[in-house]
């Protein structure tokens, strides 16, 4: 093929993406036509993705692009570079195939939104869709048309650092959020202007890593795999997600990247996924590290034949596939199939017609005030009010003096959370700054009190050159703690901001404990002893052990990592300009010793309520500190009139119900109506409760709404390990409606044969 005239390309570049969907069948035809002209090395190039700008690059990337030896880059985030590389690809490479630039647009690109676990706490899929659509717009403006998100790994072990990147412990909440994210990122169709193609990850079971240790093996019984861990992936596939990433770890002894059961039997044959699969970074190479593949050639062979289409970062496909094809160990058809799927994605994204971006447009997109407003709203809607004794919150805006204490109170980076590398170049406002801005006439003093530091450094420190302050000497540490306590004594009110520094959660951010890191518990208890009205603001990427705080600090507001507008949103919440309405997407244990603790567990032979079994631990309650679905408001709500349209339904039919929810307090606020179900008998034991429906509703004081729900075949079906199939079984069912997973309002119905 001859190079296309440059002028035509420049003209085409000004239109950002396909303004009309390119039908899949048409994209397929074009892909096949192109494929017929490509050489084997070029095809293998399309299967190879490289890091750019971080980590080691195997050889000259420009030359690799020119020769068609690479089809995709990750971590290129500025439009001048995407354009420069793209010009080489479409003007100089043999068949002018555009590059696909990918990046972890996890919770914002330039404008950093709350972390995914926080967004999940909003229980607001519409908000999440809107947020990811804005994130996509910013990414697309620089030429990044592929995000490695959503991360939909269910996590029931909060020691696992990456719990922050997902939607928590529940498959129904997780599936709703997975769908919303796919729709937000991709828009109405793959290739929609200002949108990106999504990549659901990490397939599958990464969240069940042994001991919560990142990358460690997962052992997941079939019942949990089908009923829990795979559900959000299936939801993403049904929502039309364009790509999927295989996970790092062994799943039941078979590494996910070489796992044919996952990548072929489940993904392609059972769910009918038609997009392409990318490995996680270096995980093709690592099939040998796991002790699974014999050598790099075997790793390439097994990843490709299991169903991986693109090798992220490791160049194992690039180095091994030519010889494997020559030796007839890998079929040309399998290579063609992988290339075809990747080309279809590039065609549907409109990259052939519009490979470049308008570099002048990116700053305009970044500076859209509507995006910042959405970030502030998202942060406010994600916060969870855990405790509020005697209406300690909201604070009186006329307070005379405030001590703002804690190592996270004046941090502009921790507030963003992980995966914020391409975030706003101007630092985010800190909570201290936001409170100063909110109370211009009050006396506000600040002390960090303690320092925060990981015992073992994060890999991101080295990759991005992140520097940490020099540790205090023991004498300095004493002085700083004393200073914080004396400020607390002198102030009329105290806001303590405690939790985890940014790099304490996320990838390689697993912890063996859920305690407040460092000396923060000491600071907390010393400040509380000062006896002033105290509010604890928690900044963290996971449930923390807040047991002492929950007994002694009147008000606790968990804002997670709330993002670039997180400080202003926190001030809005503390002073009542916004009302907390978020709910926990994950159970808060009393301590790490309770893990795993999640609401949808099965009954034991001796329920907890029996006399001698008030606790199944002899030294700790069985109940968690805060249950799944829990969160308070500045107002109060009541639930009533739980009704079902019939007392019994035949298996496979739908039952319709409704419940009234009323705002019984004096402020407007939001409640999340939650419906839980329990199947009383069947071919297998079922969890005590499972979330089946939720809806976040806004209510004015005194207002009441009737919320309707329906439970159909798929809601009442489960995968039975006895029959090894999906079943809709006749049984009596319990149903509860209310504000969290302990909701008391109860009804029953029967499913009949
Ligand atoms: C490794 C992570 O596991 C994955 O989530 C991410 O998308 C890739 N690196 C690329 O950054």
Residue 705 C-alpha to ligand 1 middle, in angstroms? 43
Instruction: Kindly state the tokens that stand for 551.
Output: 């007994």
Nearest 5°: the CA angle 70, 74, 80 is 90
What pLDDT is attached to residue 300? 98
Residues 657 and 561 in one domain: no
CATH number of the CATH domain containing 644: 2.60.40.10
- 3-state SS string for 39-77: CHHHHHHHCEEEECCCCCCCCCHHHHHHCCCCCEEECCC
Same domain, 349 and 386: no
Confidence (pLDDT) at 530: 98
- What letter would DSSP give residue 200? E
Identify which of 153, 245, 256, 508 to mutate to test ligand 1's pocket (most ligand atoms within 8 A of the CB).
245
Ligand 1 center to residue 247 CA distance, Å? 9
The reply to whether 210 and 306 lie within a common domain is yes
Cα 695 to Cα 712: distance, rounded to the nearest angstrom: 17
- What does the pLDDT average to over 268-285? 98
In a domain, 33, yes or no: no
Question: Domain of 335: which CATH number?
Answer: 3.20.20.300
Q: How many A from CA of 103 to the centre of ligand 1?
A: 9
Q: How confident is the model at residue 423 (pLDDT cuts 50, 70, 90)?
A: confident
Which residue intervals of 410-473 are DSSP H helices?
431-438, 459-464
Strand (E) or helix (H) holding 202? strand 199-203
Cα(419) to centroid of ligand 1, in Å? 10
Does the C-beta of 104 come closer than 6 Å to ligand 1? Answer: yes
Given 536, 560, 594, the domain boundary residue is 594
Domain final residue, candidates 330, 361, 392: 361
Q: Considering just the CA atoms, what is the radius of gyration of the chain in Å?
A: 26
pLDDT per residue as tens digits for the range 114-154: 999 999 999 999 999 999 999 999 999 999 999 999 999 99
Distance from the CA of 245 to the center of ligand 1, in angstroms?
9
In tens, the pLDDT along 320-358 reads: 999 999 999 999 999 999 999 999 999 999 999 999 999
Q: Is residue 679 part of a domain?
A: yes
For the CA atoms of 266, 269, 270, 272, the dihedral, rounded to the nearest 10 degrees, stands at: 110
280 an active-site residue? yes
Residue with CA nearest ligand 1 atom 4? 280
Residue 652 token pair: 């496979």
Q: In whole angstroms, what is the distance from residue 678 CA to residue 673 CA?
A: 17
Asked if 384 and 336 sit in the same domain, the reply is: no
Residue 4 lies in a domain: no
- For residue 202, the ligand 1 atom closest to its alpha carbon is 5
Give the pLDDT band of residue 10 (cuts 50, 70, 90).
very low
Q: Is the CB of 148 under 6 A from ligand 1?
A: yes
pLDDT tens by residue, 158-169: 999 999 999 999
pLDDT over 90 (residue 16): no
Residue 54: what pLDDT? 78
Which of ligand 1's atoms lies nearest the C-alpha of 248?
A: 3
Helix (H) or strand (E) holding 85: helix 79-92
254 and 311 share one domain: yes
Atom of ligand 1 lying closest to residue 313 CA: 10
Q: Which run of H or of E encompasses 405?
A: strand 401-405
Whether the Cβ atoms of residue 64 and residue 319 lie closer than 8 Å to each other: no
CB 201 less than 6 A from any atom of ligand 1: yes
Average pLDDT estimate for 392-419? 96
Question: Looking at the structure, do residues 293 and 416 belong to the same domain, yes or no?
Answer: no
Catalytic residue among 157, 170, 280, 311: 280
Count CB atoms within 10 A of the CB of residue 390: 7
Closest CA to ligand 1's atom 1: 281
What is the 3-class SS of 328-351, one letter each residue?
Answer: CCCCHHHHHHHHHHHHHHHHHCCC
Non-local CB neighbours of 724 within 8 Å, separated by 6+ positions: 222
Q: How far apart are CA 161 and CA 303, in angstroms?
A: 26
Ligand 1 centroid–CA 455 distance in Å is 23
Distance CA 141, CA 655 (A): 46
Closest C-alpha residue for ligand 1 atom 7:
148
Alpha helices in 497-610 (DSSP H): 520-529, 547-552, 566-574
Peptide bond into 732 cis (omega under 30): no
| Residue 422 scores a pLDDT above 70 | yes
Q: Which of 582, 738, 581 is nearest to 669 (CA)?
A: 581
Other beta carbons within 10 angstroms of residue 576's beta carbon come to 15
What pLDDT is stored for residue 606 in this prediction? 74
DSSP state, residue 218: B
Residues 6+ apart with CB under 8 A from 482: none
pLDDT at 9: 38
73-109 pLDDT, tens digit each: 999 999 999 999 999 999 999 999 999 999 999 999 9
Whether residue 280 has its Cβ less than 6 Å from ligand 1: yes
Neighbours of 603 (CB within 10 A): 13
Q: Say whether both 337 and 417 belong to one domain.
A: no
For position 306, what pLDDT does the model report? 98
CATH number (domain holding residue 404):
3.40.50.1700
Give the confidence band of 11 by pLDDT, cuts at 50, 70, 90: very low
Nearest-atom index, ligand 1, CA of 199: 7
Which of the listed residues 567, 594, 621 is the one where a domain comes to its end? 594
Distance 422 CA to ligand 1 centre (A): 15
Say yes or no to pLDDT of 612 above 70: no
Which pLDDT value is given to residue 60?
Answer: 87
Q: Does residue 17 register a pLDDT over 60?
A: yes
What's the chain's length in residues?
Answer: 753
Atom number of ligand 1 nearest to Cα 247: 3
What is the rounded CA–CA span in Å between residue 629 and residue 261?
33
Say how many Å lie between the CA of residue 195 and the centre of ligand 1: 20
Longest dimension (CA), the chain: 83
Q: Does residue 2 register a pLDDT over 60? A: no
Total domains, the chain: 3
- CB distance 281 to ligand 1 below 6 Å: yes
Task: Give 312's contacts (C-beta < 8 A, 6+ positions apart).
Answer: 49, 74, 245, 278, 279, 280, 281, 282, 283, 284
Q: Classify residue 20: in a domain, yes or no.
A: no
pLDDT surpassing 60 at residue 575? yes
335 and 414 belong to one structural domain: no
For a ligand 1 pocket test, name from 72, 148, 464 the mutation site with the most ligand atoms within 8 angstroms of its C-beta: 148
Ligand 1 centroid – CA 613 distance (Å): 45
> What's the pLDDT at 464?
76
Is the pLDDT assigned to residue 653 strictly greater than 60?
yes
Token reading at 44: 């293998």
Conformational region of residue 391, where left means phi above 0, alpha means psi within -120 to 50, and beta covers everything else: left
Residues 626 and 665: beta-carbon distance below 8 Å: no
Determine the average pLDDT of the residues in 647-673: 98
Compute the mean pLDDT over every residue in the chain, rounded to the nearest whole number. 95
Cα 751 to averaged position of ligand 1 atoms, centre (Å):
44
- Nearest residue (by CA) to ligand 1, atom 10, is 281
CB of 507 closer than 6 angstroms to any ligand 1 atom: yes
pLDDT of residue 425: 65
Q: Which of 507, 508, 509, 510 to mutate to test the pocket of ligand 1 (most atoms within 8 A of CB)?
A: 507
Among 106, 165, 281, 509, residue to substitute to test ligand 1 (most atoms within 8 Å of Cβ): 281
pLDDT band at 459 (very low <50, low <70, confident <90, very high): confident
CB 409 within 8 A of CB 495: yes
Distance from the alpha carbon of residue 420 to the mean position of ligand 1, in angstroms: 13
Determine, yes or no, domain membership for 611. Answer: no
3-state secondary structure of 714: helix
Contacts of 422 (CB under 8 A, 6+ apart): 77, 103, 105, 109, 110
Nearest CA to ligand 1 atom 11: 104
The band of 57, judged by pLDDT with boundaries at 50, 70 and 90, is low
Q: 215 falls in which pLDDT band (50, 70, 90)?
A: very high
What's the pLDDT tens digit per position in 366-400?
Answer: 999 999 999 999 999 999 999 999 999 999 999 99
Structural domain contains residue 700 = yes
What beta strand segments (E) does 247-358 contain? 250-251, 254-255, 276-278, 311-312
Question: What's the pTM?
Answer: 0.97
Residues 554 and 702 in one domain: no
Residues 571 and 708 in one domain: no
Q: State residue 615's pLDDT score.
A: 63
- Neighbouring CB atoms inside 10 A of 316's CB total 26
Cα 280 to ligand 1 centroid, rounded to whole Å:
6
Token pair of 271 as six digits: 């769910």
The ligand 1 atom at the shortest distance from the C-alpha of residue 148 is 7
Query: Is residue 601 a part of any domain in this protein?
Result: no
Quick check: is 603 in a domain? Answer: no
Report the alpha-carbon distance of residue 61 to residue 72 in Å, rounded: 11
Which residue, judged by its Cα, is nearest atom 3 of ligand 1?
Answer: 280
Same domain as 384, residue 332: no
The verdict on 384 and 357 lying in the same domain is no
Say how many Å lie between the CA of residue 281 and the centre of ligand 1. Answer: 6
Nearest CA to ligand 1 atom 9: 281
**Domain encompassing residue 672:** 637-752
Which residues sit opposite 402 in a β-bridge? 444, 493
């Amino acid at each position: 093929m001859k190079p296309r005239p440059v002028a035509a390309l420049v003209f085409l570049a000004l239109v950002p993406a396909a303004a009309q969907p390119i039908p899949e069948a048409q994209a397929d035809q074009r892909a096949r036509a192109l494929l017929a002209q490509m050489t084997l090395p070029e095809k293998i190039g399309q299967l190879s993705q490289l890091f750019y700008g971080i980590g080691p690059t195997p050889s000259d990337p420009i030359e690799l692009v020119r020769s068609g030896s690479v089809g995709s880059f990750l971590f290129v985030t500025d439009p001048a570079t995407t354009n420069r590389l793209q010009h080489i690809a479409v003007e100089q490479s043999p068949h002018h195939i555009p590059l696909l630039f990918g990046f972890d647009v996890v919770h914002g690109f330039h404008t950093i939104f709350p972390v995914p676990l926080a967004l999940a706490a909003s229980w607001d899929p519409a908000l999440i869709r809107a947020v990811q659509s804005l994130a996509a717009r910013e990414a697309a403006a620089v030429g990044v048309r592929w995000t490695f998100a959503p991360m939909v790994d269910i996590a029931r072990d909060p020691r696992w650092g990456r719990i922050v990147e997902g939607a928590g412990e529940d498959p129904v909440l997780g599936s709703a959020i997975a769908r919303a994210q796919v729709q937000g990122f991709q828009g109405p169709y793959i290739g929609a202007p200002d949108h990106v193609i999504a990549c659901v990850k990490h397939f599958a079971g990464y969240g069940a890593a042994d001991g919560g240790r990142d990358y460690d093996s997962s052992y997941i019984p079939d019942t949990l795999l089908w009923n829990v861990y795979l559900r959000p992936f299936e939801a993403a596939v049904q929502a039309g997600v364009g790509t999927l990433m295989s996970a790092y770890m062994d799943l039941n002894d078979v590494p996910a990247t070489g796992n044919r059961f996952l990548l072929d039997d489940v993904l392609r044959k059972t769910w009918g996924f038609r997009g392409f699969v990318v490995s996680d970074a270096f995980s093709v190479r690592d099939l040998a590290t796991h002790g699974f593949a014999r050598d790099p050639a075997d790793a390439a062979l097994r990843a490709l034949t299991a169903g991986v289409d693109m090798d992220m970062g490791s160049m194992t496909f690039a180095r091994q596939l030519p010889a494997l094809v020559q030796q007839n160990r890998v079929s040309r058809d399998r290579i063609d199939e992988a290339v075809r799927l990747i080309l279809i994605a590039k065609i549907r994204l409109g990259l052939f017609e519009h490979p470049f971006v308008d570099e002048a447009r990116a700053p305009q997109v970044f500076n859209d005030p509507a995006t910042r407003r959405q970030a502030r709203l998202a942060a406010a809607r994600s916060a969870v009010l855990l405790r509020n004794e005697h209406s300690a919150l909201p604070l009186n805006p006329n307070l005379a003096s405030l001590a703002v204490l804690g190592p996270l109170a004046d941090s502009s980076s921790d507030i963003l959370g992980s995966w914020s590398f391409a975030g706003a170049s101007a630092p985010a406002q800190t909570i201290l700054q936001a409170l100063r801005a909110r109370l211009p006439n009050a006396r506000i003093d600040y002390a960090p009190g303690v320092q925060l530091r990981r015992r073992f450094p994060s890999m991101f420190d080295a990759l991005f050159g992140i520097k940490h302050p020099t540790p205090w000497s023991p004498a300095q540490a004493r002085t700083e703690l004393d200073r914080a306590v004396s400020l607390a004594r002198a102030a009329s009110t105290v806001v303590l901001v405690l939790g985890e520094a940014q790099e304490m959660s996320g990838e390689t951010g697993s912890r063996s404990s859920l305690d407040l890191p460092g000396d923060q518990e000491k600071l907390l208890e010393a400040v509380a002893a000062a006896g002033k009205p105290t509010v604890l603001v928690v900044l963290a990427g996971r449930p923390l052990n807040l047991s002492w705080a929950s007994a002694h600090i009147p008000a606790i507001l968990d804002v997670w990592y709330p993002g670039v507008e997180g400080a202003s949103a926190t001030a809005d919440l503390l002073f009542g300009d916004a009302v907390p309405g978020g709910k926990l997407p994950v159970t808060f244990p009393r301590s790490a010793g309770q893990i795993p603790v999640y609401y949808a567990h099965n009954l034991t032979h001796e329920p907890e309520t029996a006399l001698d079994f008030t606790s199944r631990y002899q030294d700790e309650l069985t109940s968690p500190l805060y249950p799944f679905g829990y969160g308070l408001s500045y107002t109060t709500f009541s639930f009533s009139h739980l009704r079902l349209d019939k007392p019994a339904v035949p298996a496979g039919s739908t039952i319709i119900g409704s419940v009234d929810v009323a705002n019984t307090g004096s402020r407007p606020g939001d409640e999340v109506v939650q419906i839980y179900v329990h199947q009383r008998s069947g071919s297998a034991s079922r969890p005590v409760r499972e979330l089946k429906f939720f809806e976040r509703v806004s209510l004015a004081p005194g207002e009441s709404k009737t919320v309707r729900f329906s439970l159909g075949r798929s809601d009442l079906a489960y995968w039975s390990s006895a029959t090894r199939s999906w079943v809709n079984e006749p049984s009596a069912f319990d149903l509860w409606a209310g504000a969290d997973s302990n909701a008391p309002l109860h009804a029953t119905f029967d499913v009949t044969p």
